[in-house]
Structure 1
């Protein structure tokens, strides 16, 4: 895709661009834990967003979005949110300047093969690639973590999604053959080996648009905060569900509404599953890791209530197909994909069976994406 972008840029703007590729991500385990200051375990994948960029000697940013065949231009001053995909670029541009950095006008083409709406965080890949490109061209001196924060702040202020830091972090810090255990409180991270060359990570799209995810995400956040506020009266040291054990939660179950208890129970047990999952990966034990993934799906579906019929069907059906180590819904929920770890020689059979049985029931063939763990954002 990089060569095609170069040619396209040359034709459109008559100059040579810098090209940055930033990957989408998967999260193997640790879902809805980031805003509870817990741990997550993402990895960057081999599907990427590409940004081609060159200076244009003006104070205007000119963007051509290849996927949508749309153009958009905006001045560097007086940036305000608008409706649509350009908010990701507007926000990054605004927040870079808000940190006291000087930008000049650029010409930009964006393209990519991260499927939109499949839960691989195409938006985080876009903000990461665009921020990385500006950082390189203007020598802004931002670290990868700085760029992740700028991407996150863009989501908060220009897009209106109060996301955690995981998606941007993973896109910028990915490492081939490894997933990243990120502490969402301290932002310390370690690379955990995920080196299973005889397996693929396979995403199956439920074909349900997760339109509820944004509003319900904020509801789940409030429910978790409500649980923390009640527990904090007894344990002033508790600042988030990260600090809570299942034992403490059980002692105070009678003070929480059943719904708030369920939400908290899921988050606290997910923290424990993630730790067990990391130990399993360190030992190269995919069987135990897969069991943790399956248990996560049950928790997301039953206690956290962010699944849907289609996702539940996909996760359950995967369990009856040979060569599948583990399966669960991935991402905010209410649609999007399941993530499955599948033996390479079983991928074709898995794809056929899951598409066939899903189509029989829901009258639509789900898209299947076969990926592997790759490096994070870089210049090409």
Structure 2
């Protein structure tokens, strides 16, 4: 995203004056799926695609906002109890309210924003938008600067309270805390996190978007969450002396001890979750050692688990994964909740052109449409540009 692009629109729509420019990225998650609500680990990183905004206080109590991509303009009062109806403006209204709750004395401002996060690809454009404005409002109006965690939680609360999305914290966390050349292992239970080096020389990180989204996603998500809760209930009954709040607190011996107390389906779901916990920790060791072959192996194992144990894949995603394996791609897996969306692939440079051509050709032959390809690079999180 070019500063000049955003600035030219801001100047055009707001009296020829300039303001401050801020940016926040979208994110990928290398490994660690369906672990957040099980108290486990996720492994995200900020990417080189995101949201950029220009913003200038206007001396009033009104927010005047222009979405460059949608060519839509909205105005609302800072103290308006209901806020705007436009769905994109609800995110902006929500972050204003949540930052106010955290002690930032937000005043009226003019703003324009644009993004290059591909919509529908699972890269969290909404979290990038929330994080961009949380950072900007804190910088402009925060006499007592709030913490980065406050910004993360303000973004999550915006989703919950104003947009009707009961999301976790990974997306906003990655957008705010991202660092160039680093991935982050986030403990979803304690919120502790650690940076790990991600400098895969000789490899490229590429998303292959299946351009499908099956309607099973929301009900299937609830079913799988219930399966995990069923196993936790069995573990609590079996081990009353232990504190078992989520599957994070179980080990393999404990899980095997209750296999006759739970359904075969519930057992499969729990097997995936415990396996994913182990895989995330193995990837930590591999990254510290610069061992990207092991990272790739664990990505394939995660895809297998998501497909066969957690059963959140679909025919199209499995086919993309099969092509990657056949072409010798180092690592490939579903990224996100499943039932559509992207695979994330770790591809050797010398295989890249062949893989991209092959996956486009074979996928189009089978499904009548080409997948979308997004190269991503790990970059910094929320920041002021100028």
Global fold match (TM > 0.5): yes
Specify the alignment match of 1:47 in structure 2. 49
- What are the ranges of 5 or more consecutive residues in structure 2 without an aligned counterpart? none
Specify the alignment match of 2:335 in structure 1. 330
The alpha-carbon deviation at position 147 of structure 1 amounts to 0.6
Specify the alignment match of 2:158 in structure 1. 154
Question: 2 CA distance for matches of 1:59 and 1:26?
Answer: 37
How is 1:240-319 mapped onto 2 (pairs within 5 angstroms)? 240-319=246-325
Preserved contact between residue 179 and residue 379 of structure 2 (Cα < 8 Å):
yes
How is 1:165-184 mapped onto 2 (pairs within 5 angstroms)? 165-184=169-188
The alpha-carbon deviation at position 360 of structure 1 amounts to 0.3
Bigger mean CA offset, 22-31 vs 67-76: 67-76
How is 1:202-221 mapped onto 2 (pairs within 5 angstroms)? 202-209=206-213, 212-221=216-225
Bigger mean CA offset, 187-196 vs 85-94: 85-94
Specify the alignment match of 1:102 in structure 2. 105
Preserved contact between residue 102 and residue 146 of structure 2 (Cα < 8 Å):
no
Encode CA deviations 1:308-365: one digit per residue, 9 max, x unaligned: 111111111111114x210001011111110000122322221111011000000001
Specify the alignment match of 1:237 in structure 2. 243
Preserved contact between residue 26 and residue 124 of structure 2 (Cα < 8 Å):
yes
- What are the ranges of 5 or more consecutive residues in structure 1 without an aligned counterpart? none
**How many residues are paired up?**
379
Specify the alignment match of 1:362 in structure 2. 367
Preserved contact between residue 44 and residue 183 of structure 2 (Cα < 8 Å):
yes
Preserved contact between residue 152 and residue 169 of structure 2 (Cα < 8 Å):
yes
Preserved contact between residue 161 and residue 214 of structure 1 (Cα < 8 Å):
no
- Change over 3 Å in CA distance of 1:9–1:316 after alignment to 2: same
Does 1:131 pair with 2:134? yes
- Change over 3 Å in CA distance of 1:223–1:70 after alignment to 2: farther
How is 1:29-44 mapped onto 2 (pairs within 5 angstroms)? 29-44=31-46
Preserved contact between residue 227 and residue 260 of structure 1 (Cα < 8 Å):
yes
Q: Match for 2:89 among 86, 91, 101?
A: 86
SS at match of 2:340: coil
Encode CA deviations 1:16-38: one digit per residue, 9 max, x unaligned: 12111111111101111112111
Bigger mean CA offset, 300-309 vs 74-83: 74-83
Encode CA deviations 1:171-214: one digit per residue, 9 max, x unaligned: 11111111111111111111111111321110000101365434
The alpha-carbon deviation at position 59 of structure 1 amounts to 1.5
Bigger mean CA offset, 353-362 vs 50-59: 50-59
Encode CA deviations 1:78-104: one digit per residue, 9 max, x unaligned: 343746222221221221222343211
- Change over 3 Å in CA distance of 1:79–1:261 after alignment to 2: farther
Does 1:3 pair with 2:31? no
Question: 1 CA distance for matches of 2:130 and 2:225?
Answer: 24
Structure 1: which 4+ aligned runs deviate by more than 6 Å? none
Q: Match for 1:351 among 356, 367, 372?
A: 356
